[in-house]
């Protein structure tokens, strides 16, 4: 009888321990911890939810969220040869100066395809004559790449900045029509991803 009670007790303890190991709310994924507000892992969010910020940095206003076609996004990001784009959404924002900002959220089949998408986009840029076009940045517990390109605006050559990174099988891109890097970075951090 004592062996049966001991066996049942051991079995109960193992069941409790095992159930904690397979809980779907486990925060430890890809080295991030959802209990830490600076790191988030995307789970069961759709791309529209990712590109629509719940909390905006000061001075920003939400305009709209629109779906984009996979052909459109492949063309925009020079990733025509990348297969596995599943869903795309673009969040549109503006600041008090009426400058437009965008957050593109792109769901891909898996993390490898997400990395291929980013690599294809980066490969579409020619090298700068001086300085580095790509700068590694880190925020929200993830690494991102800041891309600098130059456009002519009002007869002057001015920089434009884009932040691009992946979180698991999602690629997130933040950019805007401004020569200032700080507001782009603020929006990128505000995604929480």
Give the predicted TM-score (pTM) of the model.
0.76
Q: How far apart are CA 26 and CA 14, in angstroms?
A: 18
Please, what are the domains in the chain?
47-191 (3.30.200.100)
For residue range 49-103, list pLDDT tens digits in order.
889 998 999 999 999 999 999 999 999 999 888 899 999 999 999 999 999 999 9
For Cα atoms 120, 123, 127, give the angle at the middle one, nearest 5 degrees. Answer: 165
């Amino acid at each position: 009888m004592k062996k049966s009670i001991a066996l049942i007790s051991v079995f109960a303890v193992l069941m409790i321990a095992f159930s904690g190991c397979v809980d779907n709310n486990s925060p430890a994924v890809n080295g991030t911890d959802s209990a830490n507000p600076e790191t988030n892992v995307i789970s069961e969010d759709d791309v529209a939810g990712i590109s629509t910020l719940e909390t905006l940095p000061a001075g920003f206003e939400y305009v709209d969220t629109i779906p984009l076609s996979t052909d459109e996004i492949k063309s925009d990001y020079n990733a025509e040869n990348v297969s596995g784009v599943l869903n795309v959404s673009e969040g549109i924002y503006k600041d008090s100066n009426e400058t437009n900002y965008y957050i593109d959220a792109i769901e891909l089949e898996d993390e490898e395809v997400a990395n291929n998408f980013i690599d294809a986009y980066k490969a579409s840029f020619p090298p700068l004559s001086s300085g580095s076009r790509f700068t590694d940045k880190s925020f929200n517990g993830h690494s991102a790449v800041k891309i600098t390109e130059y456009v002519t605006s009002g007869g002057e050559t001015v920089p434009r900045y884009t932040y691009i990174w992946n979180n698991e099988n999602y690629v997130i891109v933040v950019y805007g029509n401004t020569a200032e890097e700080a507001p782009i970075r603020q929006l990128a951090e505000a995604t929480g991803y």
